[in-house]
Structure 1
Amino acid sequence: MIALPLPAARRSGSRPAATRFAVIWGAAAFALLAAPAWADSVTPRGEPTIPGTITAGDRSELTIKPATDPAETVPAAEIAEVSWDGEPATMGAARGREGRGDLVGALEVYREAAPKMASIGPLAKADGQFLVARVLGKLALNDPARRAEAVASLQQFVKDYPDHFRTDPALRMLVDVQTAAGELDAAAATLEQLKQSPSEEFQTAAAVAEGQLALKRNEADAALSAFDSVLQNAEGRAAAEAKIGRAAALTRLNRHDEALTVLEGVLDETDASDAELRAAAHVGRGESLQATGETKPAILEYLKVDVLYSGASAAHAESLYHLSRLWATVGLPERAAEAAAKLKTNYPNSDWAGKLSAG
């Protein structure tokens, strides 16, 4: 806020107070309009957006200088989103589309914006390339036909920008896509790159991913051991991911009460805005509840994903698959048909749609 001086006592020959106030206000407004635009911004996860000018960035962090405050460094692992001075006006809407799960629409805008992002500077150019690769990765989790393209895009990004604040998120996404594709040896090799991160949080993410690989190999005991090891020191998001993985391992071992308790804790501790984690926790609870014959509570868990977290596309597709089967078992075949139709419309090439079609 601009503090305006109070009018001085009226003197002989001076301007009327109202006139002098208008002059002062006009000068202040002109100064405000003439001030340089600080149009970059960084949004740390779970924190307010920081406006300013981005001055530096590497694999560890991003530095932004607010207009009047000292420069701030945001660790790469804590960056939720970045916007750039001079980026196309459509970028904000594209990020919104991505968050809501409209990945195809977001991808189109990101690709159209790439030349403009490149003109802003090296950091912005790389960020634009990352956004394309990230959306391709998300699409690939539900669409086998997209996986080769996503892997190539993510690998190219890491090759081109080995010291960017998006390098480790790209590696983490690459592991997920390779795992979804069943390329477990390739995923393990990518994990070795992620382990070299300067960020402890991404090092922990690599350890979590190792547990997830063990689950993919149906090695539940090994997975449980891996997640327990992570949880000895992990905090924040990495700890939540490890707990979700631990619950999945417990479910495979038929320790359903333990799994449900772990996932309830994740939901209690996780911010309401973190759709990916919350959706994964609800899916995990649905799996355990199904296994113990609690069909209606399981439906409720999957329904929460459909209603509240449809932007978490991988969990959403899985939830729709289960709803398409479970609604019929409680005498609501029309609801089952609605879920099946939504799955085939929104995720027509997904593994879950294929599983539904296969019966």
Structure 2
Amino acid sequence: MIATRTLTATAIFLLVSLVAGNASAQTDRLYPVDGEVVIGKIKTISKEGVIITASGKDQTFAAGDIQRVLFQGDPPELTRGRDFILDGQYDQAYDQLKQLDMAKISRDDIRSDAQFYLALSQGEMSLAGQGDLTKSTQAALGFVKQNPQSWHFYDTTRLLGDLAKAMGNYEKAALFYGYMRGAPSLDMKVESVYQGGLVKLAQGDLAGAKEDLSKVAGMKPTTVESKRLQTLSKASLAVVAAKEGQAQQAIEMVNDLIKTLNPADTATAARIYNALGASYAAAGKDEDAILAYLHTQLMYSMQAATHVEALKELAQLWTKVGKPDRAAQARGELQKRYPGLSG
């Protein structure tokens, strides 16, 4: 009887020890862009990527190949904020993340992740005309300075490039996009060249834009993202051609892209129709240009940057064709929906 009680007590002790050990073990989750979730312990984080130890083995993931990381001990506001960001609901993400008390987050990796997503949601809201571009830039710069080895480093330089471009600071935009060439992800390197071409196009450097965009357009895509960037580069090359006086060729280039358009990729579709509008406008075909920009206004209004561009162009084109009331409507929609970008 005594032996039985002793055995039972020993078993209980071992069980409690096991449970306590499991409770103290760190369990993180890494979600790759492609592949299954990896469950283990984050070993190291750098701007190049993340090393996670799972089943006793280290696995390395490049920064551009990671969708998200969930850390043990994540506050619920951070978990919800990440989910909203993945859905593109930046306003709801910001509402969740701004409730966090950073001082109460003891794990550095969690605090860094929270700071990034807070800066990202704030920046994306500003890019959609619902915030202050300057303050968002300061927040993103603050994150990079405090977390220079975050695996979100290159995503933040992209955000800074987008913000600088939206403010018309093209030299800064080129600088920030240029950082992406150092990323371990090939897609990010390609995007760096593409974005650099867009900046040169906005500056009126047609030769420079054509050089960069042709590199991307002429590559052999190996991923879905590189294929998308190739298509976007071809659309922008059409705009270059139109500005060089080859409007008809530009129109034909864009129409060829429309024939193979993926209707589910609304971001790419909106850019292509805006390129068509720019090409028609360069050819002096104002009514055709209006129809192209109207396509973006009516069909792709959820794409803020291209929607803003379409509304601004429509305000000018409606005036040119003698319809000031329609021009006023376009300006009114621009000011109502995008107060931070209507200038």
Check if 1:249 corresponds to 2:237.
yes
| C-alpha deviation, 1:322, in angstroms | 6.6
Aligned amino acid, residue 199 of structure 2: L
Q: Structure 1 residues 57-66 or 276-285, which shifts more?
A: 276-285
Aligned to 1:134: 120
Gaps of 5+ in 2: 1-17
- Does the C-alpha gap of structure 1 residues 346 and 51 become closer, same or farther in structure 2, counting only changes over 3 Å? farther
* Per-residue CA distance 1:32-86 (angstroms, 9 max, x = gap): 9x976986433333x35615235132222223455x6965433211223333332
Is the 2:276–2:292 contact (alpha carbons within 8 Å) kept by the matching residues of 1?
no
Aligned residues: 306
Aligned to 2:257: 262
Aligned to 2:40: 53
Which structure 2 residues correspond to residues 1-359 of structure 1 after superposition, within 5 A? 40-45=28-33, 47=34, 50-55=37-42, 56-65=44-53, 72-99=59-86, 102-113=89-100, 115=102, 118-119=105-106, 121-143=107-129, 146-233=132-219, 235=221, 236=223, 237-252=225-240, 253=242, 254=247, 255-262=250-257, 265=260, 267-268=261-262, 272=264, 276-285=267-276, 287-288=278-279, 293-294=287-288, 295-296=290-291, 298-306=293-301, 310=302, 312-318=303-309, 343-350=334-341, 353-354=342-343
Aligned amino acid, residue 75 of structure 2: P
* Per-residue CA distance 1:195-243 (angstroms, 9 max, x = gap): 3334433332221221011111122343122111234446332452343
Q: Percent sequence identity over matched residues?
A: 19
- Does the C-alpha gap of structure 1 residues 48 and 156 become closer, same or farther in structure 2, counting only changes over 3 Å? same
| C-alpha deviation, 1:279, in angstroms | 4.4
Q: CA RMSD in A?
A: 4.0
Distance 2:203 2:188 in 1: 22
Distance 2:230 2:316 in 1: 29
Is the 1:214–1:223 contact (alpha carbons within 8 Å) kept by the matching residues of 2?
yes
Is the 2:216–2:229 contact (alpha carbons within 8 Å) kept by the matching residues of 1?
no
SS of the residue 1:163 aligns to: coil
| C-alpha deviation, 1:340, in angstroms | 6.8
- Does the C-alpha gap of structure 1 residues 75 and 238 become closer, same or farther in structure 2, counting only changes over 3 Å? same
Aligned amino acid, residue 195 of structure 1: R
| C-alpha deviation, 1:167, in angstroms | 0.7
- Does the C-alpha gap of structure 1 residues 240 and 318 become closer, same or farther in structure 2, counting only changes over 3 Å? same
- Does the C-alpha gap of structure 1 residues 347 and 94 become closer, same or farther in structure 2, counting only changes over 3 Å? farther
Aligned amino acid, residue 158 of structure 1: V
Aligned amino acid, residue 40 of structure 2: T
Gaps of 5+ in 1: 1-30, 355-359
Distance 1:162 1:205 in 2: 21
Q: TM-score, normalised by structure 2?
A: 0.71
Q: TM-score, normalised by structure 1?
A: 0.68
Q: Structure 1 residues 238-247 or 222-231, which shifts more?
A: 238-247
Distance 1:213 1:325 in 2: 23
Distance 1:99 1:283 in 2: 26
